[in-house]
Chain A
Amino acid sequence: MAEEAGGALEFDPMDQFIIKPLFGGETISWYTPTNATLWMALAVLAAVLLLVVGTRGRAIIPTRTQSVAELAYGFVYKMVEDVTGKDGLKYFPLIMTLFVFIVFSNLLGLLPMSFTTTSHIAVTAVLGFGVFIFVTVLGFVKNGTGFLSLFWVSSAPLALRPILAVIELVSYFVRPVSHSIRLAGNLMAGHAVLKVFAGFAQVALVAPIAILGVVAIYALEVLVAIIQAYVFTILTCVYLKDALHPHH
């Protein structure tokens, strides 16, 4: 620790989140292929490999790849059915797409030297606000103005209802914010902690403990990667349920 007190760490734990153009150069325009583009494309490629190529055989007795794909499909299908109900199953493709994209972005981000696309609020905010706008439009299309009864808690005493309506309205509009920052924040914080522990490993005295710590945190990060994808999709299901059945 003594060496570190004097100078800074050899590398900055936040360096891993810098967006760089793939083919050199300095300026980044909207069309420049960057490392974020690369890893997002790889996440899509991995999803295609698992779900399209992996299930190509359509075997009665599935191969290992096919049974992983079937497990993922069945898991998300049951989640949509449990949380949203039967009429939510029409939106299962959307939920499955979100889950698979997020889980592969998170897991590919765990590879050494890789880039975690979902650690950027810019990426998760698009997903979060996309879900928010979709769900709000769907609520009005399905229920008309009856969707507003979501904010009018009919089980509460009449005098309390206007106050509750304001609270419900505020909590409705912060949904996309918490929805997107939860994912980005968890991923970013976890990966930064990983790099901080890797930085401690430069000091010979604490290196064994630091390396054990990196291993333990890496295992935790695998868990977090899957759980955060699950939480993101289950919250999407909850919001979808509110849009389909707004009555309290």
Chain B
Amino acid sequence: MEGDIAQLGQFIGAGIAGLGAGVAALGVGNVAGNFLAGALRNPSAAASQTATLFIGIAFAEALGIFAFLVALLLMFAV
């Protein structure tokens, strides 16, 4: 066992930050699931809303990306 306590904390922190990506997955699944539920109720309106779907997914995913960014910063920049 070499290395110091700061590095240990860095790695543990990066691992915890990685959980944020999983939580963002919940958000993306929520967006897509609700879109599907709405689209099955009114299929004729679904095609015109796919752009909104992707924008919504992108915004939900952005927060997962920040978690990934924090993990990257802890691993390589701190």
Residues of A within 8 A of B (CB): 79, 82-83, 174, 177-178, 181-182, 185, 227, 230-231, 234-235, 238
A82 touches B68 (CB 8 A): no
Contact B51 A79, beta carbon cutoff 8 Å = yes
CA distance A238 to B54 in the complex (A): 11
**Complex contact A178–B55 (CB within 8 A):** no
**Residues of chain B contacted by A235 (CB below 8 angstroms):** 55, 58
What are 20 residue pairs bridging A and B, where the CB atoms are less than 8 Å apart in the complex? A79-B51, A174-B62, A174-B66, A177-B65, A177-B69, A178-B62, A178-B65, A178-B66, A181-B69, A182-B61, A182-B65, A185-B65, A227-B54, A230-B54, A231-B54, A231-B57, A231-B58, A234-B58, A235-B55, A235-B58
A-B pairs with the 4 shortest C-beta distances? A178-B62, A181-B65, A231-B58, A178-B65
Chain B residues packing against A (C-beta within 8 Å): 51, 54-55, 57-58, 61-62, 65-66, 68-69
Looking at chain A's contact residues, the main secondary structure is helix
CB-CB under 8 A from B65, the residues of chain A are 177-178, 181-182, 185
Q: In the complex the two chains form, is B51's CB within 8 Å of A234's CB?
A: yes
Interface centre among A178, A230, A231, A238, by most chain B C-beta atoms within 10 angstroms, is A178
Q: A178-B62, A182-B62 are in contact. Are A238 and B55 (CB under 8 A)?
A: yes
Known: A83-B51, A181-B69, A234-B54. 10 other contacts (CB 8 A): A174-B62, A177-B65, A178-B65, A181-B65, A182-B61, A182-B62, A185-B65, A234-B51, A235-B55, A238-B55
**A37, chain B: closest CB distance, angstroms:** 24
Q: Is A82 a contact partner of B51 (Cβ separation < 8 A)?
A: yes
B71 to chain A, nearest CB (A): 11
Q: Which residue of B has the minimal Cβ distance to A231?
A: B58
Bound Cα distance A79, B55 (Å):
12
- For the complex, what is the distance from the CA of A182 to the CA of B54, rounded to whole Å? 13
Chain B residues within 8 Å of A181, by CB? 65, 68-69
Chain A neighbourhood of B58, CB < 8 A: 182, 231, 234-235
Give A248 to B50 CA distance when docked, in angstroms. 22
Residue from B57, B58, B69 whose CB has the most chain A CB atoms within 10 Å: B58
Whole-angstrom CA separation of A178 from B65 in the bound complex? 7
In the complex, which residues of chain B have a beta carbon less than 8 angstroms from the beta carbon of A231?
54, 57-58
Cα–Cα distance between A82 and B69 once the two chains are bound (Å): 32
A82 to B51, CA, bound (A): 9
* A177: nearest chain-B partner, CB-CB: B69
Assess A234 versus B62: contact at CB under 8 Å? Given A181-B68, A181-B69, A185-B68.
no
